[in-house]
Amino acid sequence: MNKVLLTLTLVFQAAQLSAAVSWDNPPVMCPEEVFARGFKCPDFSRVENPYTDFPYETSKEEILDWRNNKAADLKLCRNQEVLRREAIKPGSFSAATIENAWMVVDGANNVSEKLKAIDEASKKYDMPAHVLIGAMKQESLFASLGISPDGGNYSCGMSQLNIQEWCQAMNGLPRAEKDAFGWPSDIQCDSSDLPTNIVKPFYDLAVKNLGTRPSYQLTAEDFKGITADQVTNAFPNGNKTLQEKRFQAVTSFVHNCQDIALSVNFKAKTLKGLFDHFVPSKLKQQELYTEGKTYNRACRSSYNSKFYPLHTGWLLAVAMYNAGPSQAKLVEYYYQTKAENLPAMNPLDLIEALHWGGKWKPGTDSIVYADMDAESKPTRRWFKKEESNEMTQRWFKSCIVQRHVARVIQHVTLPADSIAKSLEVGGCTVTGVPEYRQKSSGVKN
């Protein structure tokens, strides 16, 4: 398929989806419907494929009911069966399949506590609960994951925060609360004081306590008893006071990062910070409910945000969490305008801009774009290499971030509906830029 035809096809598909969506009341689930609600499972022990099959006696009506109205429970039931079969016959499934199944099952634990934390955090930060829910499900499937290396990031818990993100949220708490969690005073949340890989020596010691459990099942118990003498020699250089604070901070992190209420609150606070400081004001002022209007589905908790459930600005904050604040500049470049002049946008426009924004730099794995707010003002023509406002990022990042936003939306969409799809063709490859993307101008035509 040539580039022109492919572009027209993707734009047509996006237009079909957009035309069918009323963004003030999109077909999204109530928060409680995203989680398993405790329906009795069908007997999957007798089916050949636990991921696709139903027991032979299940009627068409029952199948539709499970798929459309009990989708979260259906997914839980299927993955419980996978774990049951693996326990009987180890090696029946791949390690990745078992990890995913464990995450689904663990994500169905403590649902009331998770829903309460989500409701409180969304109200506190005036953010759509659907965006917060979709973002966390994309990170962890709501499982309380243990600390994982994640390329040196050492993320933890349901919200998958690293120690720098945890530090920023923790530093915002009152002193008494910080003391209660054993958090040190006057520690900076940057790579100088707390590089994310400072957690590594703690992690290396904890995995020795796992036995036969995989590392994604680490718990706070596995970190108990770690002393400063065991880890500080692996810290970056620093004076005695700084090393003590580092030890105190990492100890507090590994012991508390799986706490549900803290994890949800800190994730929301992190997204709120990105929204407040980096999302263009033009996007913040769009997709707002007018007086007397709100999301109209009757859910267990009333909808309290002034923003639409899938607010484009909040979704951009999620994109920034995963790929950095420069994603706003990428969107502006795609539309060839400064932040204050951005057009009205919806979530599908955001996915499109993240996917197509920026021009391929020949001979590299990167796309290049420009800061439209910088003094040098690029035109629709390719801007010169020496211009000071040039910005660059790997195509892989662009591909992943647009897919991430699409999946955040998909996680909260009613099972029988479709709102958003990611736009990559042939997957997101770590190296190389696909031919169709190489030919893009990088701006909206």
**Secondary structure in 3-state letters for 86-101:** HHHCCCCCCHHHHHHH
Helices (runs of H) and strands (runs of E) counted in the chain: 19, 3
Q: How far apart are CA 46 and CA 51, in angstroms?
A: 12
As a whole number, the mean pLDDT across the chain is 92
> Residue 430 carries which DSSP code?
S
For residue 376, the model assigns a pLDDT of 53
**Sheet with 390-394: strands ordered across:** 359-360, 366-370, 390-394
Cβ-Cβ contacts under 8 Å for 228 (sequence gap 6 or more): 243, 244, 247
What confidence tens digit (pLDDT) does each residue in 380-420 have?
444 444 445 899 999 999 999 999 999 999 999 999 999 99
Whose CA is closest to 408, among 14, 33, 70, 141?
Answer: 141
**At 97, is the pLDDT very low, low, confident or very high (cuts 50, 70, 90)?**
very high
Burial (CB < 10 A; 0-12, 13-18, 19+), residue 434, is middle
Question: Which H/E stretch holds residue 168?
Answer: helix 163-171
Longest dimension (CA), the chain: 70
Mean pLDDT of 58-72: 97
Indicate the SS3 state at residue 184.
Answer: coil
Q: Using alpha carbons only, give the angle 189, 139, 298 rounded to the nearest 5 degrees.
A: 115
What's the pTM? 0.90
- Looking at residue 391, its pLDDT comes to 94
pLDDT over 90 at 132, yes or no: yes
Kindly write down the DSSP assignment for every residue of 387-417, as one continuous string: -TTEEEEEHHHHHHHHHHHHHHHHHHB-TT-
Average pLDDT over residues 80-108: 97
Label residue 244 by pLDDT band (50, 70, 90).
very high
Residue 16: its pLDDT value, please? 47
Span 182-208, mean pLDDT?
95
Q: How many CB atoms lie within 10 A of CB 430?
A: 10
Q: What is the pLDDT of residue 382?
A: 42
Position 384 scores a pLDDT of: 45
pLDDT at residue 292, rounded to an integer: 87
CA 220 vs CA 159, 259, 262, 304, 419: distances in Å:
16, 10, 14, 34, 39
Residue 385: per-residue pLDDT: 43
Q: What is the CA radius of gyration of the chain?
A: 23
Return the pLDDT at 7: 44
Domain boundary assignment for the chain: 1-33+113-144+262-445, 45-108, 146-257
Q: Is the dihedral of CA 226, 230, 234, 236 positive or negative?
A: positive
Distant-in-sequence, close-in-space partners of 404: CB < 8 Å, separation ≥ 6: 138, 318, 319, 322
User: What's the CA dihedral at 225, 231, 235, 241 to 10 degrees?
Assistant: 60
- Alpha helices (H) in 20-148, listed in sequence order: 31-34, 60-69, 71-88, 95-107, 111-124, 129-140
Tokens of 64: 């539709």
What is the C-alpha separation between 433 and 425, in angstroms, rounded?
11
